[in-house]
Homo-oligomer: A and B are copies of this chain.
Amino acid sequence: MKFGVILATTLVAALAPAAFAQEADPLPSWNGGKARQSIVDFVSKVAKEGSPDFVPAAERIATFDNDGTLWAEQPLYFQFLFAIDRVKTLAPQHPEWKDKEPFASLLKGDTQAALAGGERALLDIVMAAHAGMTTEEFEAIVKDWLAKAKHPATKRPFTEMVYSPMLELLSYLRANGFKTYIVSGGGVEFMRAFAERVYGVPPEQVIGSSGKLKFEMRDGKPVIAKQADVEFIDDKEGKPLAIQKFIGRRPIASFGNSDGDLQMLQWTAAGAGPRFCLYVHHTDAEREWAYDRKSSVGRLDKGLDEAAAKGWTVASMKDDWKRIFRFEK
């Protein structure tokens, strides 16, 4: 009897922290609306053994866009801001840039004129910022920039421009056996430099756009050098293709914020069994930004129609998010 009592006491003491953790709200930055409820309903049914919608842990794959979904993307994708700073740093070694667009305008401080060349101009800037160095040198440069650079509007480090509700969502999914991936148009090596520390997503679960790489010997040691050519743009149709190539398994949940994520959500939704698709809708001009159908950055137009037609969850920043950034009062 005494043994039983002691064992019972020990068990209660051992279980208490787990029970407490389970009861604590895993999504405190979310308001209690439909969006939050749809997330909790989905996770509960797929992770609960014995549920008719149970999904084995190995198949609980969740994919997240990055720019505009996990962190902000205004006034310009942060990686372009990095690339612009990098071009300025490298300018003394490239006297030819003085007469060559988009570099000439950029170096004169006229970002708008530099970007008049559209996607091509953006790519030229990004490639110039990346080419020639080894992957390890590049990682060090990105980390250094992230430690020092400040967002032009908030004056905060860029890694503080991440969304609290989405950080909680990543943790909540992982606590329920999900493997969380980033599948983003951003450069894969740029994102890997901070994804593990900031999002808890290790490098091998970060999928992104990439430039060509070259394996070569430098001073008798093998290095991998970044080349000036684009290899793959991880956007639109590129997203489901990258998912197939890198993961080889269809996600059961996907999260995006723009038309560039639509094919990823379609691919996710079209699988058999329970599926979850969510669009983050930028509706809060006060705390973040408000933009959708007509924005040049992160346009959400077709996606908004398809979400309505298919019954996907649309999380309105203004209504569904109690807190957007950690630094908010």
Residues of B within 8 A of A222 (CB): 240, 263, 266-267, 270
Interface 0/1 of A231-270, CB less than 8 Å to B: 0000001001100111111000000000000010011001
Structural contact, A240 and B267, CB atoms closer than 8 A: no
Contact (Cβ within 8 A) B188 A213? no
- Please classify the interface of chain A as helix (H, G, I), strand (E, B), loop, or mixed, using the class held by over half of its residues: helix
Given A224-B244, A245-B210, A249-B204, also A267-B215 (CB < 8 A): yes
Interface residues on A, range: 35 or more
> Does A3 touch B at the CB level, under 8 Å?
yes
Is A204 touching B6 in the complex (CB atoms < 8 A)? Answer: no
- Interface residues in A1-21 (C-beta closer than 8 Å to B): 2-3, 6-7, 10
- A interface residues (Cβ-Cβ under 8 A, vs B): 2-3, 6-7, 10, 58, 61, 135, 179, 188-189, 192, 196, 202-204, 206, 210, 213-215, 221-222, 224, 237, 240-241, 244-249, 263, 266-267, 270
What are 14 sample pairs from A and B whose C-beta atoms fall under 8 A apart?
Answer: A3-B6, A6-B6, A58-B196, A135-B244, A204-B247, A204-B249, A206-B248, A210-B245, A213-B245, A215-B267, A222-B240, A222-B266, A222-B267, A224-B267
User: A215-B267, A222-B266, A240-B224 known; A248 and B210 CB under 8 Å?
Assistant: no
* Interface contact A247-B203, CB-CB below 8 Å: yes
Shortest CB-to-CB span from A243 to chain B, Å, is 9
